[in-house]
Structure 1
Amino acid sequence: MSEKIMLRVPDKAKRLWDEWNIRCAVLISLLFQVVLIFSANSRKRTGGRLMTALIWSVYLLADWIAAFAVGLISSGQSNDCPEKVAVRKELAAFWAPFLLLHLGGPDVITAFSLEDNELWIRHLLGLMIQLLAVAYVFTQSLPNEFWIPTLLMFLAGSYKYAERTCALYKACLGNFKRSLLPKPDAGPNYAKLMEEYSAIEASQVPVNIEIVNEPEKDSAGTTVAPSPNDHMIVVSESEVELSDREIVTKGYEFFNTFKGLVVDHMFSFHERNESRKFFFQRTASDAFKVMEVELNFIYDALFTKMAVVHCKTGYLFRFLCAVLIVLCFQQFVSHHLHTDITLFDKIVTYILLGGAVCLEFVAFFNLVLSDWAIVSTTWIADLTRPCFCKGYRWSNTMSQHSFISFCLKERSKWVDKIADFCGIKETLDEFRYKGSAVFEDDLKEFIFKELKAKAEKAKTTKDAKEIYSSRGDGVLWNYPSHYPHPSISSSISDEVEYDESLMLWHIATELLYSTSSNIDQNGKFCKILSDYMLYLLVMRPMFMSAVAGIAQIRFQDTREEAKKFFQRWESELTPSAAEERHKQACKKLLEVKTTVVKADQKKTVIKPNEVKGDRSKSVLFDACILANDLEQLGESKKWEVMSKVWVELLCYAASHCRPNAHAQQLSKGGELITFVWLLMAHFGLGEQFRIESGHARAKLLVTK
């Protein structure tokens, strides 16, 4: 017979656990709430992996430890061995409602990701279970000298938990979309009209039907005044600067109008023209500030409690909740003096009470300084005027990824295998190969002017659709000098997949940028946008999923060919500084001969797939051919053309990305591509608009 081996827990460890488990659990739960309330908002201003991992860990553990502590307390209340209960039942019952308060979480985070909002039903079930558990603990503790403060905190905690569940429900994308739908409208009664017409006609009385059109309605079903210029472009030569308060209020107005973008909502032409009119009259700086505020409101609506709190009912219940917490504090102070609570338990209780009051104060402070309070209350706007637009509401950075640098800084294969096995290869890639560039004002101005110029040409929906679908070819119409170089136009034609175009232009940009001696501002724009777009393609594929094609295969094949090429010339690449080594590698690629002289003495380009076949999807030397052809345009002209092509490639990716990818990234520092997507919508460059005319009212006219 085999003996069963049992692991015996030492009695000392068991006593230590019984004595400290509840105390430690409630204090750790409070600590997690403090960490969340002070750090959660930073995630919209930074996309750093470490900060994201910290917030994610605390977000998950906060709910777990609070529910665990409620379980410990309820288990202790039903324990038949009083000597094992280290905390008095009355005091443990008083601590339990604090955990409901913690389960409600801070205002600044209800969901870590969009998927968390879809789990609102699970949170609703959790709410009911935890309420029953805490109510059970309370009833088991009766008679309880702390029953008044316990009941007060139970009411406050119940509201906080219900408030979070409500926020998750409203932010669920399905519910979010349903909340934007107009009221059902069957329109005029067609059957009744035709019956009346038939009856009059049958009586041989002459009758006609006259159609009278009603005013147009917007996407919310609200009647709008007709304008003779509603379908004409409005271009203003003067750009009016906005005050800080106007930036916030306009951002809120556009949030209310265009928040449906994240759920593929459709908009009227009236809303399109109002938006176009506003943004045509703005400077690039003000336009991006307004969009910052607008995206900040979207972030708050999807990931925080702000949309629930900022209404009359929300303000009322939040005030009552604060009053309940303060009264609870006062009641405990007046009661505990006459009880025999240990000193340490008094300290723990005061920490919980003080923490609850402080967290409520911080929440109130955040509410007062929030954009929501500024747009809803004038006196708060005047009070917080200095804080309106200080700092950014997003990271204001563009991540960078260089293909050539990636190939030259290869990790050892065994490290890659271990990282891949552990599932951290992508994380290590970001730490090693991802750079960062500040989104400077001059680049902001350049992108805004390019989109504004395109919007001026979009006089009709057909024009807008053509511009929206362009991915670089639209630029070349204005530069006929490219015609002798077919690789330029063919690299961005519809016959080439988008990811292939992006890879070609990225490598060509790297080669030219690293080997050029005179680089103007357009050249710098090219390099930043090129590295940013490759970063999105390789490290943020959710933004490219609709246009990526076989991007991963193409990138791997191109990388493999580049590595083999550089290994061949390894002896000639001097072990100098990284920048110099990068330049040498680019020169070696450009030195590869891509043309032959045929019998008629004409130079002919030999395409790589003619030599290698098409099994490998590498575009390395196709990019070299493209770089050589772009070089023929001249130093200044090539950067001008390339910078405009990069803006079109960026716009194409932005407009063809799934909206929920844009929304998801708001909680990870934000992305430039999201601003471009939103700016295109504001300029009317997209398929989100349709004409919503009013009903055609029919009248029966009896003629003589």
Structure 2
Amino acid sequence: MRKKTAKKCVTFIIWSAYLLADWAASFAVGLVFDTEEKYASAQDKGDDAKGAEADTGLLLVLWIPFLLLMVGGQDRITSFAVQDNELWHRHLIWLFLQLCTTGFVFIQSVHQNRLWIPTLLLLIAGTIKYAERIVALYLASSDSFGTSVLKDPNPGPNYEKLMREFKHYEDSNVPVYFAKFPDIESGVVNVKYDRFYGDLSDSELVQYAHRFANMYKGLIVNLMFSSREHKESREFFSNRTAEDALRILEIELNIFYDLLHTKVEANLKLGKMVRYMPFGFVVSALALFHKKDKYGFKSFDLKLTYILFFGFLGLDVVTELLWMFSDWSTVSSLSKDAKYFPLAKIQSKIFNELLSLKRPRWKWKETNAAPQENHWWVACTAKILERLKPKSKESEKEPPYATQKIEWQEASTPIMFKRWSETLSQFNFIAYFCKESGSEGIFRIIMTNMPKSMHIKDFIEQKKNDIFLKRSVIPQPLPKKLWGFIFQELLEKSTSAHDDGEAKRISLARGDWILENGVFFDDDDSELSRLMPYVKDVAYDESLLLWHIATELCTANPPDNTGDEEAFMFSQWLSNYMMYLLYQQPNLMSEVSGIAKQRFRDTLAEAQRFFSQRQRRRGQLVMDYQRILDVDTSLKPADVKGNLSKSALFDATRLAKELNVLGERKWKVMSKVWVELLSYAASRSRGNGHVQQLSRGGELLTFVWLLMAHLGLRESWVETRIRTRLIVSK
């Protein structure tokens, strides 16, 4: 569930259960150990009343191995976070201590325990189950995983031998030199993967996804790739539709998740026999226990024992079903040899039907291209996607609302068939400011009016800001057209990258490449020169805030051209999403965040001061925007105020005025600039930040990061390998 939803309540429940498991097992083993000693002592004293109860102590000994079985974890979750994989040493020590404790209890009672054989079988099963978990944690740890994705050691050509031959020819006055040429890596592509063109079936998409996941799993530890791998990947994705590319990336990221958080890799390494042994031991123990005489056992204890047996077996059957219908099993069932077996053909048909259920679903949604109607994330509006009617004479001066209807498809896949959360979280600076200045709830009053003399004042203030920031985040289903737009933009950039140097320059662009190469300005460079400083001469976090506020201010003049509504929506979605990443996802944006928090607070303070001097009404966003745009910004704010404040409010106002000069072209310019700002953050982020996000529902940024890797749009990701040859001239 946790990789399919970003809801905090689901994550909290799973996190609580994960932490509680080991503690509960240790507590229960200690409790059983203490109780069993009392029963054994009563039986040794010959107390008949207590001797009857001592039979229950035998069941307590039988229950201990179940704790190992349960703490061993289900195959679908071995670690909650990536950092838990580094604690495999701790789990190994825990297993050793538990085996010592359990072994002591077992040996102490074996001479009088008529259930010792079922107990021993369960103990072996529990040890195997927990050992599987330790192996899975070890294989997913950074050291082991980083080593596993490395290629075999390659010492290269024999330098000493080549130099000896070179010197021999040189001393003999024979013309000789070393020629360099690119390494054309040989390797026959599997027949199942040679059809790069045309439409692909669901099963073929899964097979391609597994192929590329094995090829690109080194991204997690920031490895480089060869030019052949890059060429193959770029050629493949260049001939895919945006939806097929999204599906392949979904499967790849699910494979990355399984490698890091499940027992998939351990099961593949240890083999099927080890995987099914615990189930067989538990079934054997159940059969032996069922045949044993139950005299002296309490009815409730017997029922609980059977519940433990069938509970474990039931969970194991469910886990096996999940494995059978997973993408891993699909690939193995669709292998070359599968077509020769009738049962395999039936299985393949079943898998194809299941894969069709996992396709992304989309539903239609409609809204008007007007700023107040479009801002469903703004808390100041009365209802989502409803027109706000002017209520004052002053508001009648606001620009007229556009009447065009915009329709788009957004993700609506049922949660059972989702591969990730399919959300595009939105955080809007103006919405947060309106909520900050207009909300006076009880919780806010309590948090704000804490005693000033308390030493926790700064802590309370920080937590208050974090809480209100999180409350301003609105989850938005991923729009289909937005993904298609991002895919096409990155594909065009990949096509434009004729060499590694150009690919590096494009990947490092944050708006300047599209302003220099986009067909927006014809032969007039004056408009271009006025926009470039806002992407090249400022820090990245400042650029995000500038373009975000400017995008909002430009909504005071919504598009009236039917061809600009989509660009208008793309700009809004990406603007709010990038602000969400900058202030809510520090793990993903740590490389580019800079002093984003200080800049945000200074900008918020300046906005509050600006509007405190003017009376504003809730819901009058267009009027507020116009008030800001009416401020004289002929001089740069830094020339007037100095640089003590990092506020970007009126710098963004200057940018908005420059964008308004573009007229109808501004929305297309902004939408493409926002894609570059998004791709820049993706190219600069590290793999460990993305894989951490996979267990929290996933992010669109992670898909862009992986897509850029496939298209070669990443700094130092592609390595051209060079061979040399000793050439002897006659």
Give TM class, smaller chain. Answer: 0.7 to 0.9
Name which of structure 1's ranges 557-566 and 464-473 shifts more when overlaid on structure 2: 557-566
**For 1:514 and 1:438, how far apart are their aligned partners in 2?**
25
**For 2:448 and 2:242, how far apart are their aligned partners in 1?**
43
Structure 1 residue aligned with 2:552: 510
Q: Pick from 113, 121, 143: which aligns with 1:152?
A: 121
Matched, 1:560 2:605: yes
Shift in CA distance, 413/145, structure 1 to aligned 2, threshold 3 Å: same
Give the alignment of 1:43-192 within 5 angstroms.
43-79=2-38, 82=42, 88-143=56-111, 144-192=113-161
Q: Pick from 447, 452, 460: which aligns with 1:415?
A: 447
SS in 1 for 2:424: strand
Structure 2 residue aligned with 1:475: 514
**For 1:64 and 1:482, how far apart are their aligned partners in 2?**
67
Structure 2 residue aligned with 1:492: 535
**For 1:373 and 1:417, how far apart are their aligned partners in 2?**
58
Shift in CA distance, 554/357, structure 1 to aligned 2, threshold 3 Å: same
**For 2:35 and 2:461, how far apart are their aligned partners in 1?**
40
Matched, 1:383 2:350: yes
Structure 1 residue aligned with 2:577: 532
**For 1:628 and 1:101, how far apart are their aligned partners in 2?**
66
Give the alignment of 1:447-462 within 5 angstroms.
447-462=486-501
Aligned-pair CA distance for 1:319: 1.8
Structure 1 residue aligned with 2:296: 340
Preserved CA contact (<8 Å) 1:47 1:668 = yes
SS in 1 for 2:187: coil
SS in 1 for 2:67: helix
Shift in CA distance, 138/554, structure 1 to aligned 2, threshold 3 Å: same
Aligned-pair CA distance for 1:507: 0.4
**For 1:314 and 1:52, how far apart are their aligned partners in 2?**
31
Preserved CA contact (<8 Å) 1:375 1:381 = no
**For 2:219 and 2:482, how far apart are their aligned partners in 1?**
25
Shift in CA distance, 422/406, structure 1 to aligned 2, threshold 3 Å: closer
Preserved CA contact (<8 Å) 1:105 1:164 = yes
Name which of structure 1's ranges 637-646 and 691-700 shifts more when overlaid on structure 2: 691-700
Matched, 1:464 2:529: no
Preserved CA contact (<8 Å) 2:230 2:718 = no
Matched, 1:642 2:611: no
- Give structure 2 stretches of 5+ with no counterpart: 43-49, 190-194, 335-343, 360-416, 451-456
Preserved CA contact (<8 Å) 1:188 1:697 = no
Structure 2 residue aligned with 1:598: none
Aligned-pair CA distance for 1:517: 5.8
**For 1:427 and 1:373, how far apart are their aligned partners in 2?**
43
Shift in CA distance, 75/214, structure 1 to aligned 2, threshold 3 Å: farther
Matched, 1:224 2:187: yes
Aligned-pair CA distance for 1:133: 1.6
Preserved CA contact (<8 Å) 2:507 2:714 = yes
Preserved CA contact (<8 Å) 1:103 1:161 = yes
Preserved CA contact (<8 Å) 1:213 1:696 = yes
Structure 2 residue aligned with 1:574: 617
Aligned-pair CA distance for 1:377: 1.8
Aligned-pair CA distance for 1:287: 0.5
Preserved CA contact (<8 Å) 2:559 2:565 = no
Aligned-pair CA distance for 1:63: 1.6
C-alpha RMSD of the superposition: 2.8
**For 1:251 and 1:633, how far apart are their aligned partners in 2?**
42
How big is each residue's C-alpha offset from its partner over 1:77-114, in whole Å with a ceiling of 9 and x where there is no partner? 44585469888331111100000001111111111111
Preserved CA contact (<8 Å) 1:279 1:683 = yes
Shift in CA distance, 290/180, structure 1 to aligned 2, threshold 3 Å: same
**For 2:677 and 2:510, how far apart are their aligned partners in 1?**
5
Shift in CA distance, 563/190, structure 1 to aligned 2, threshold 3 Å: same
**For 1:322 and 1:214, how far apart are their aligned partners in 2?**
56
Aligned-pair CA distance for 1:403: 0.2
**For 1:105 and 1:66, how far apart are their aligned partners in 2?**
12
Aligned-pair CA distance for 1:275: 0.2
**For 2:56 and 2:480, how far apart are their aligned partners in 1?**
62
SS in 2 for 1:399: coil
Shift in CA distance, 609/157, structure 1 to aligned 2, threshold 3 Å: same
Structure 1 residue aligned with 2:432: 406
Q: Pick from 664, 680, 684: which aligns with 1:656?
A: 684
**For 1:514 and 1:181, how far apart are their aligned partners in 2?**
54
Preserved CA contact (<8 Å) 1:44 1:669 = yes
Read off the aligned partner of 1:499 and give its amino acid letter. Answer: D
How big is each residue's C-alpha offset from its partner over 1:244-281, in whole Å with a ceiling of 9 and x where there is no partner? 11111111111000000010111100000000000000
Aligned residues: 625
Preserved CA contact (<8 Å) 2:219 2:687 = yes
How big is each residue's C-alpha offset from its partner over 1:223-263, in whole Å with a ceiling of 9 and x where there is no partner? 5379xxxxxxxxx9x96222111111111111000000010
Aligned-pair CA distance for 1:308: 1.6
SS in 1 for 2:475: strand
Structure 1 residue aligned with 2:367: none
Q: Pick from 632, 636, 650: which aligns with 1:607?
A: 636
Preserved CA contact (<8 Å) 2:182 2:721 = yes
Aligned-pair CA distance for 1:196: 6.4
Shift in CA distance, 86/561, structure 1 to aligned 2, threshold 3 Å: farther
How big is each residue's C-alpha offset from its partner over 1:624-659, in whole Å with a ceiling of 9 and x where there is no partner? 11111111111x311000000000000000100121
**For 2:88 and 2:184, how far apart are their aligned partners in 1?**
34
Structure 1 residue aligned with 2:327: 371
**For 2:214 and 2:148, how far apart are their aligned partners in 1?**
12
**For 2:174 and 2:525, how far apart are their aligned partners in 1?**
66
Aligned-pair CA distance for 1:475: 1.2
**For 1:278 and 1:71, how far apart are their aligned partners in 2?**
58
Matched, 1:315 2:315: no
Matched, 1:522 2:543: no
Q: Pick from 318, 321, 332: which aligns with 1:362?
A: 318
How big is each residue's C-alpha offset from its partner over 1:642-679, in whole Å with a ceiling of 9 and x where there is no partner? 00000000000010012111110011110011111111
How big is each residue's C-alpha offset from its partner over 1:171-195, in whole Å with a ceiling of 9 and x where there is no partner? 1122111111122222233224545
**For 1:189 and 1:395, how far apart are their aligned partners in 2?**
52
How big is each residue's C-alpha offset from its partner over 1:23-74, in whole Å with a ceiling of 9 and x where there is no partner? xxxxxxxxxxxxxxxxxxx111111111111111111001210122122223
Shift in CA distance, 283/318, structure 1 to aligned 2, threshold 3 Å: same
Q: Pick from 691, 694, 706: which aligns with 1:666?
A: 694
Structure 2 residue aligned with 1:244: 202
- Give structure 1 stretches of 5+ with no counterpart: 1-41, 227-235, 595-604
TM-score by length of 1: 0.83
How big is each residue's C-alpha offset from its partner over 1:482-523, in whole Å with a ceiling of 9 and x where there is no partner? 724754221101x21001110000001111125426361110
